Amino acid sequence: MKKVDFKEIIVFEDEDYICINKPPFIATLEDRNDPVNINKIAKEYHQEAHACHRLDKETSGILALAKSTEAYRNLAIQFEKRKVQKMYHAVVAGKHDYDGVSVYLPIETKPGATSVRINKQEGKEAETIFFTEKAYKNHTLLRCYPLTGRMHQIRIHLACLKTPIVCDATYGGLPVFLSQLKKRYNLPQDQEEELPIMKRVALHAVSLTFTNMKGETITATAPYPKDFNVLIKQLEKHT
Please list the active-site residues: 56
- Nearest residue to 201 via CA among 168, 232, 224, 230: 168
Q: For 43-95, what is the HEC assignment?
A: HHHCCCCEECCCCCCCCEEEEEEECCHHHHHHHHHHHHCCCCEEEEEEEEECC
Residue 35 CB-density burial (10 A; 0-12 exposed, 13-18 middle, 19+ buried): exposed
**Cα–Cα distance, 72 to 115 (Å, whole number):** 27
Residue 139 CB-density burial (10 A; 0-12 exposed, 13-18 middle, 19+ buried): buried
